[in-house]
Chains A and B, each alone.
Chain A
Amino acid sequence: MTGLLARAGATPVTAPHGLPRLIPAGAGADPGLAAHLARLGPPAHSPAGAAPQAGPAIIAAAQAAGLTGRGGAAFPVHRKLRAVAAAGRPGRAVAVANGAESEPASGKDRSLLWLAPHLVLDGLQLAAEAVAAGRAVLYVHRDPDLARHLADALAHRAAAGCDRIATEVVQAPDRFLAGETSALASRVSGGPARPGFAEPPVYERGIGGRPTLVHNAETLAHLALTGRFGPGWFRAAGLPGEPGSMLCTVHRADGAGHVTEAALGTALAALLPGLGGPGRGEVQAVLCGGYHGTWLDPAVAAGLTLSRASLREAGAAPGAGVLAELPASRCGLAETARVARYLALESAGQCGPCFNGLPRMAAALAELAAPRPAPRAEADLRRWAGLVGGRGACHHPDGFVRFVASALGVFRDEVAGHARGRCRATDRAPFLPVPAPPATEADWS
């Protein structure tokens, strides 16, 4: 242990009060390891930590905190930790921080890795301790600047003697499905970043056939703080049934966007100005949960909160925290069709129902987005939705169907208008962010 870590251990810190917890307010750049340790104290996994913890204690703390995954599925963290810890002898497991945020409309993991990488890396080490992992991996989309930034952060940690096991950075292709757990396991094993038929599951046989723990980068940042300040501190924010906070990427109708941290249970109207404030009337729909998420009517969204229990009433979920206002000036069907085309092109092309159904559904949506669509387009769309859901190796077709089905509900007046040759759009400029199609179909590595 070097001076930096020992000094941090000798100086008492106070637990952050209120929000934000993860990215300090006003942080425009990563303050570096020394400032990170000065703010939060030594990491819980390090010998200088307040109470160096053994695996079972880390898992028990995650359970007491009620921490769930922040990558979209909200799976209880302690259950994943326990499953991987039980799946092999000590030193065999691989722990992975998944920073390959694939939603084009989400920027929260990227922000976290740029502004608070040490929090994610602390969490990765703590998770690695929890499952007695012999290998730690940080998985991110290919980005030379970010890779350099992370390499610097890791070099500083190595110099300070922060970590028991070195963290490798593995880069993923810029594909929507590259962050899916089985795609990640394949990529880190040296294969293509495509989803697999994960049987047995990745937590038993993942990277190189080893038990593999995959947690979203933000999830690990919360774990790092819970390890330092305890489950009670974590539960001071959020709801009893859904404690803590989560990062959200908010897109406003005026085109502005930002990443913000919100307690679970926060009213959507407090996050989206168009649902109640001065922006009221400028918003015709809210996209909740990203491109595998759900369109909501603004009148419905205004009564909901950022929690699984509340959003479930409207058939939605917080997902990875994407919230987007669709301005009144745009055509919701045109926006949905554009995103659907992108998602169809991002199919890994492996499962018949997905590679047959998604392009057809995207084409039918493009038809519905045009004036006087073929009368059968909507019926085709609904039939195909019934055929592709639940029939992929991964959840891409399921998320696609959820997104498209919610559009047919929320934009039903627009569907009726198009049938009569009328469209509400006064602005045809694309609104939701959609990346350019991949350079080559084969670029999965």
Chain B
Amino acid sequence: MRLRVNPIACTGHGSCADLLPELVSLDEWGYPLVADGAVPPELARRARRAVRDCPALALLLTADPEPGRR
């Protein structure tokens, strides 16, 4: 599982960084910087919660490595 942000939907509430500081920090404008790589199993539960609690529904958990866009 990987954590991704839909950058169009994201409005910088920052709740993901509060709930999951191990994987998400905020840039100087309040938008999330998500750690690369797979979500470690011990953080999976809180990652799911962060996804559920995002007020903008902008945080996603994807099963596979990010497929090529375009």
Residues on A facing B (Cβ under 8 Å):
73, 75, 181-182, 196-199, 201-202, 350-354, 356-357, 387, 391-393
| Residues in A whose Cβ lies below 8 Å from that of B29 | 352-353, 356-357
Tell me whether A351 and B8 are in contact in the complex, defined as CB-CB below 8 angstroms, given that A356-B29, A387-B28 are known contacts. Answer: yes
A-B residue pairs in contact (CB < 8 Å), sample of 15:
A75-B70, A197-B7, A201-B70, A350-B7, A350-B8, A351-B10, A352-B11, A352-B12, A352-B29, A353-B27, A357-B29, A391-B7, A391-B31, A391-B33, A393-B7
Query: Smallest distance from the beta carbon of A325 to chain B beta carbons, Å?
Result: 31
Report, nearest first, the 3 A-B pairs whose CB atoms are least far apart.
Answer: A351-B7, A352-B31, A356-B29
Tell me whether A392 and B7 are in contact in the complex, defined as CB-CB below 8 angstroms, given that A198-B69, A201-B69 are known contacts. Answer: yes
Q: Tell me whether chain A's interface is mostly helix, strand or loop, or mixed.
A: loop
| Residues in B whose Cβ lies below 8 Å from that of A196 | 8
B28 x A201 contact (CB < 8 A): no
Q: What is the size, in residues, of chain B's interface with A at 8 Å between Cβ atoms?
A: 17
Contact string against A for B residues 47-70, beta-carbon threshold 8 Å, 1 for contact and 0 otherwise = 000000000000000000001111
Most B-side CB within 10 Å, residue of A73, A354, A357, A393: A393
A181 x B27 contact (CB < 8 A): no
Contact string against A for B residues 1-27, beta-carbon threshold 8 Å, 1 for contact and 0 otherwise = 000001111111000000000000001
Query: Smallest distance from the beta carbon of B57 to chain A beta carbons, Å?
Result: 11
> Within 8 Å of chain A (Cβ to Cβ): is B30?
yes
B6 x A393 contact (CB < 8 A): yes
Complexed CA–CA distance, A351 and B56 (Å): 13
Query: Smallest distance from the beta carbon of B42 to chain A beta carbons, Å?
Result: 27
Query: Smallest distance from the beta carbon of A273 to chain B beta carbons, Å?
Result: 35
Q: Which residue of chain B has its CB nearest to the CB of A214? A: B70
| Residues in B whose Cβ lies below 8 Å from that of A350 | 7-8
| Residues in A whose Cβ lies below 8 Å from that of B33 | 387, 391
| Residues in A whose Cβ lies below 8 Å from that of B9 | 197
Q: Which residue of chain A has its CB nearest to the CB of B66? A: A199
| Residues in A whose Cβ lies below 8 Å from that of B31 | 352-353, 356, 391
Contact partner of A197 (CB less than 8 A), chosen from B8, B27, B70, is B8
Q: Which residue of chain A has its CB nearest to the CB of B9? A: A197
A197 x B28 contact (CB < 8 A): no
Query: Smallest distance from the beta carbon of B2 to chain A beta carbons, Å?
Result: 13
Contact partner of A353 (CB less than 8 A), chosen from B7, B67, B69, B70, is B7
| Residues in B whose Cβ lies below 8 Å from that of A181 | 70
Query: Smallest distance from the beta carbon of B18 to chain A beta carbons, Å?
Result: 17
| Residues in B whose Cβ lies below 8 Å from that of A356 | 29, 31
| Residues in B whose Cβ lies below 8 Å from that of A75 | 70
Complexed CA–CA distance, A73 and B68 (Å): 12
Complexed CA–CA distance, A354 and B12 (Å): 13
Most B-side CB within 10 Å, residue of A73, A181, A196, A387: A387
Complexed CA–CA distance, A351 and B6 (Å): 9
